[in-house]
Amino acid sequence: MTTADRVIVPLDVASEAEAIALVQTLPAVTFWKVGLELFVSSGPGILSYLKDQGKRIFLDLKFHDIPNTLAGACRTAAGYGVDLITVHAPAGKTALQMAQQAAVAAATAAGLSSPNLIAVTLLTSLDARSLAFELKVSLELSDYALQMALLAQESGLAGVVCSPHEAALLRRTCGDDFLLVCPGVRPEWATQGDQRRVMTPAQAIVAGASYLVIGRPITAAPDPEAAFNRICQELAAS
Ligand SMILES: O=c1ccn([C@@H]2O[C@H](COP(=O)(O)O)[C@@H](O)[C@H]2O)c(=O)[nH]1
């Protein structure tokens, strides 16, 4: 896997036409993320387009529901032949286990590779203050993220979405095979926006991230291709 293959770029746009234009602007990107805005506006058509282009797909719809509903959503999502699917860890162990089983069964029945289910530990737009005072969680942020990661691992999931800030702790505790997919990644030259727990791409990789999710520093740059290349060069040089 090259450095570029470890960078997942989100298609956070409002239409399939804009998404396709972005994919064509960035031919070197091999791994794309389809999230809520695009999927709600345009449905699964973009997934077929990306597969036809030979791209890997992270379907980031962050499912969070009761076990039966979560399993149903993951069963359907697995049928699209995507590589990564997100659920929220606080859905709980029964829901995570049923989701994992449903995804594997659906992929197997369709003759597809099983997708990796990964659980969001704590959104990277939240900080210790929001965890304590808005969500009323009394654990330290790093401990909360760790507990959510362990819940995901015990439930049979392949990994988690976490901030680079927690990546080293989760890597040490959950082992080398556990996927750590990290948004909240900002090169020195990019603005933080609504992200709170950020690190640079190189710092995130050193901390143990398997994949980096980097959106606006690339997609909102005046020259997205130059921004993507600059990130890959900075990673290669680190
Ligand atoms: O905790 C999370 C989970 C998912 N995301 C998603 O990642 C990208 C980040 O985009 P940027 O433009 O680089 O901020 C975005 O699609 C989020 O939905 C996250 O940021 N944090």
* pLDDT reported for residue 123: 98
* pLDDT reported for residue 1: 87
Report in angstroms the alpha-carbon separations of 32 from 48, 51, 217, 222: 12, 10, 15, 20
> What is the rounded distance in angstroms from the CA atom of residue 128 to the CA atom of residue 138?
10
* pLDDT reported for residue 223: 98
Ligand 1 centre to CA of 213 (Å) is: 7
Count of CB atoms within 10 A of residue 108's CB?
12
> What is the rounded distance in angstroms from the CA atom of residue 139 to the CA atom of residue 116?
28
Contact 46, 38 (CB under 8 A): yes
- The number of folded domains in the chain is 1
Contact 16, 37 (CB under 8 A): no
* Structure token pair of residue 93: 């162990």
Q: Is 55 annotated as a binding residue?
A: no
> What is the rounded distance in angstroms from the CA atom of residue 204 to the CA atom of residue 207?
5
Provide the annotated active-site residues: 62
pLDDT, tens digit, 9 for 90 and up, residues 97-139: 999 999 999 999 999 999 999 999 999 999 999 999 999 999 9
Which position has the token pair 């990130």?
Answer: 231
Q: Give the domain range for residue 134.
A: 4-237
Residues with Cβ within 6 A of ligand 1? 10, 12, 35, 120, 123-124, 161, 183-184, 193, 195, 213-216
* Model pTM score: 0.98
Q: Which of 11, 213, 214 to mutate to test the pocket of ligand 1 (most atoms within 8 A of CB)?
A: 213
Amino acid making up residue 125: S
The CATH code of the domain that includes 76 is 3.20.20.70
Q: Is 127 annotated as a binding residue?
A: no
Q: Considering only CA atoms, which residue is closest to atom 7 of ligand 1?
A: 183
Q: Which residues of the chain have pLDDT under 50?
A: none
3-state secondary structure labels for all residues of 76-91: HHHCCCCCEEEEEHHH
Which residue pairs, CB below 8 angstroms and at least 24 apart, start in 184-193? 184/124, 185/209, 185/212, 185/213, 185/214, 185/217, 186/217, 187/217, 187/230, 187/231, 187/234, 189/217, 189/230, 190/216, 190/217, 191/216, 191/217
Q: Is 186 annotated as a binding residue?
A: yes
Ligand 1 centre to CA of 66 (Å) is: 24
Helix (H) or strand (E) holding 212: strand 211-213
